[in-house]
């Protein structure tokens, strides 16, 4: 493995910001779509699945600019974050995630079937792509961290749905006799899954970690200690303003996408130096 692209979580605005960055970077000759490995967590799993299935960044960026007619904003603000922090207030990370999973199972949310229809509609392909794609999730019962790939025996729709199942907002995804929630409950980025790559680019709409979650800085330090070149991009001040406080508000999507594309101009040189 030579080059890895890590796509972190961040809601619908995170999806938009990542596509803006990817399109802006491609415009400047930095083709992150050529990654040998793509790691996707939550929103990043959706972007990663689309990218690996052949969706062009420019096309995806244009889609983010469309008015969100008929789309309802879910709520994920300070109150929702506080609930997760409380549920995950355990020193043991697995036990903390199991508490979050129990909260997610008990929460009132839309049906699994309706949510699966939404996820399926957003994917350009239903089969796992030929490019190596890792999709992260958490077992809601045990709290164990799970990584799905083409050899896992799980459909791409279910894997992405599980990774995007924000606890308390969307229903846990049933796969076999288990239920799964957002991979961001282990880490909002999970950059350590890129271990072994010589060049790693991390797009992190949010790097906020709480409780026993591994911190992005520590994951990046470990990658560099192994000899990898690593570049990390988080939203700049303009992008943070465009995203706003509710990352699940589709009304902010277009602004977030434009902010990501604008930001690409300022980070392209650093990313190109890493990407090679």
Catalytic residues: 42, 182
DSSP label at residue 142: T
Q: DSSP alpha helices (H): ranges in 123-228?
A: 156-163, 216-225
CA distances from 224 to 6, 33, 106, 195 (A): 15, 22, 40, 9
Buried b (16+ CB within 10 A) or exposed e, 231-245: bbbbbeeebbebbee
Distance CA 136, CA 148 (A): 6
DSSP label at residue 265: H
- Do 261 and 58 contact (CB within 8 A), yes or no? no
Distance CA 51, CA 39 (A): 11
Buried b (16+ CB within 10 A) or exposed e, 132-161: bbbbbbbbbeebbbbbbebebebbbbbbbb
């Amino acid at each position: 493995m030579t080059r890895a692209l890590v796509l972190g979580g961040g809601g619908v605005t995170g999806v938009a910001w990542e596509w803006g960055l990817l399109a802006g970077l491609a415009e400047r000759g930095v083709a992150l779509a050529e990654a040998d490995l793509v790691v996707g967590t939550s929103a990043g799993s959706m972007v990663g699945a689309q990218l690996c299935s052949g969706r062009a960044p420019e096309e995806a960026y244009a889609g983010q600019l469309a008015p969100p007619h008929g789309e309802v904003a879910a709520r994920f603000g300070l109150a929702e974050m506080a609930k997760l922090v409380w549920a995950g207030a355990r020193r043991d990370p697995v036990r903390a995630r199991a508490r979050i999973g129990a909260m997610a199972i008990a929460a009132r949310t839309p049906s699994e079937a309706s949510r699966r229809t939404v996820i399926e509609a957003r994917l350009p392909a239903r089969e796992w792509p030929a490019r190596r794609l890792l999709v992260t999730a958490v077992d809601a019962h045990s709290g164990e961290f799970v990584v799905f790939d083409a050899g896992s025996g799980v459909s791409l729709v279910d894997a992405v749905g599980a990774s995007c199942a924000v606890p308390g907002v969307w229903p846990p995804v049933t796969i076999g006799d288990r239920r799964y929630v957002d991979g961001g409950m282990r880490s909002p980025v999970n950059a350590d899954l890129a271990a072994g790559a010589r060049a790693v680019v991390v797009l992190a709409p949010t790097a906020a970690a709480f409780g026993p979650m591994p911190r992005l800085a520590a994951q990046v330090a470990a990658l560099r200690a192994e000899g990898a070149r690593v570049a990390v991009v988080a939203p700049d001040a303009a992008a943070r303003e465009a995203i706003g406080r509710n990352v699940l508000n589709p009304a902010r999507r277009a602004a977030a996408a434009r902010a990501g594309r604008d930001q690409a101009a300022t980070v392209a040189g650093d990313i190109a130096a890493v990407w090679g």
